[in-house]
Amino acid sequence: MREIKLRHDAGLYLFAGPVNYRLRFLAVSLLPFLLILGCGRGGKQQEIVYVSAPQTFLRDRVATIYTKTGVVKNGDKLQVLERDRRFARVRTEDGSEGWVEQRNLVSQQVFDGFQKLSQEAQNLLPQSSGVTRNDTNLHLTPGRDTEHLYQLNRDSKVSLLKRDVAEKPGMTAPAKATPDQKGSPAKPVLEDWWLIRDSSSRCGWVLGRMIDVDIPLEVAQYAEGQRIVAFFILDQVTDGDHKVPQYLVLLNENKDGMPFDYGQVRVFTWNVKRHRYETAYRERNLNGILPVTVAQESFDKEGTLPTFTLRVKDDNGATRERKYKLNTPIVKRVLAPGEEKQAPIARQKQRKQ
């Protein structure tokens, strides 16, 4: 075997010998450097989480007696350093470290889900404005047990975008038994949920009963026991030295879990002589589906008038569009070319069955 000769020259080792010996020597020499690089670049990937509580603090140890090392707030980004059974040691973006309860954290995947939800909802037109009744969570999907991240304070202003229903956990209601059934099978209790957008453009699902539709009392008083689902300003009229809005209002039965978004529409116009709102148009027994579209359109001699388009499901489940125009105080159907006027789609027969 040929002996390998080594010499030191300017801090470098030069060697000669067969190729296989040189390669083996090079691998052994570079091993420590590769291990160092591996620890720096090829180590465990950083785990990122976000704070889901309104506010919580960091502690220096997991013990009954501890010292606060920092405060984190809803939506703050944290790096996980290690995990315990109930706690995680984290580092904030400003370098503070400490332990925090894991129940106050959500994963990067949940955060990305909210980002995606906001992107998908950015082109949805607001169907109404609302105000939160209490502090409430924004959920990723409808349902009390679904993931949530952001929290809204009481009296927060929000835009209502879309309605859906979800089962209330652990709750069932007896169904009506037919003559050929011996008992009354239980059915899930459904709750209304709204996809909302807040003042910071964050989107999420909120339990419907946590939001009050922010409609003026002068109009809300005419609800007649119905639930106001949404409202739209069609136009404004001049009364003295101020402008008064005229409204399209969507209403439904005052209960959750309905298979349609609204069952009745009313148009409220302002009587300039009597200085009060009056019902200019009402249509009941609709299987109405959101969204509703409000626009302005030119009608020859009538000029430019406000219009609104409803989406209504028929008995076969197909959705039809029905356009209307308001020439105060008259509301009329606007038929598309070739369309024939049809009677309102009613649910009276379905109720008697």
Bridge partners, residue 243, by sequence? 238
Contact 101, 66 (CB under 8 A): no
Provide the pLDDT for residue 23. Answer: 47
Report helix, strand and coil shares of the chain as percent, to nearest 5: 15, 50, 35
- Separation of CA 231 from chain center: 19
Provide the pLDDT for residue 2. Answer: 45
Conformational region of residue 316, where left means phi above 0, alpha means psi within -120 to 50, and beta covers everything else = alpha
State the Cα–Cα distance between residues 249 and 315, nearest whole angstrom.
24
Using CA of residue 329, residue 287, residue 165, residue 308, what is the dihedral sign?
A: negative
pTM score? 0.79
Provide the pLDDT for residue 194. Answer: 98
Provide the pLDDT for residue 217. Answer: 93
Contact 234, 308 (CB under 8 A): yes
Provide the pLDDT for residue 353. Answer: 35
Domains located in the chain, CATH noted: 5-41 (no CATH), 47-109 (2.30.30.40), 126-176+185-214 (2.30.30.40), 216-353 (no CATH)
Contact 203, 195 (CB under 8 A): yes
Cα–Cα distance list, 275 to 214, 216, 269 (Å): 22, 15, 10
Q: Give the position of tokens 């009538």.
A: 302
Provide the pLDDT for residue 327. Answer: 97
State the Cα–Cα distance between residues 150 and 38, nearest whole angstrom.
37
Contact 309, 326 (CB under 8 A): no
Contact 13, 29 (CB under 8 A): yes
Q: Output the tens digit of pLDDT for each of the chain's 353 residues.
A: 444 444 444 443 434 455 554 545 444 455 444 444 444 444 568 999 999 999 999 999 999 999 999 999 999 999 999 999 999 999 999 999 999 999 999 999 999 999 999 999 999 999 999 999 999 999 999 999 999 999 999 999 999 999 999 999 987 776 665 656 565 677 899 999 999 999 999 999 999 999 999 999 999 999 999 999 999 999 999 999 999 999 999 999 999 999 999 999 999 999 999 999 999 999 999 999 999 999 999 999 999 999 999 999 998 889 999 999 999 999 999 998 877 766 555 554 444 33
> Which residues does 127 contact at the CB level (< 8 Å), separation at least 6?
160, 161, 162, 229, 230, 232, 250, 290, 291, 292
Provide the pLDDT for residue 336. Answer: 83
Provide the pLDDT for residue 338. Answer: 72
Contact 75, 18 (CB under 8 A): no
State the Cα–Cα distance between residues 278 and 324, nearest whole angstrom.
18
Kindly report the backbone phi and psi dihedral angles of residue 296, in degrees, each rounded to the nearest multiple of 5, phi listed first. Answer: -120, 140
State the Cα–Cα distance between residues 158 and 225, nearest whole angstrom.
24
State the Cα–Cα distance between residues 115 and 120, nearest whole angstrom.
9
Conformational region of residue 63, where left means phi above 0, alpha means psi within -120 to 50, and beta covers everything else = beta
State the Cα–Cα distance between residues 252 and 192, nearest whole angstrom.
12
What are the strands of the beta sheet with 203-207, ordered from one edge? 148-152, 136-139, 203-207, 186-198, 157-174, 128-132, 211-213
Q: What is the DSSP letter of 318?
A: -
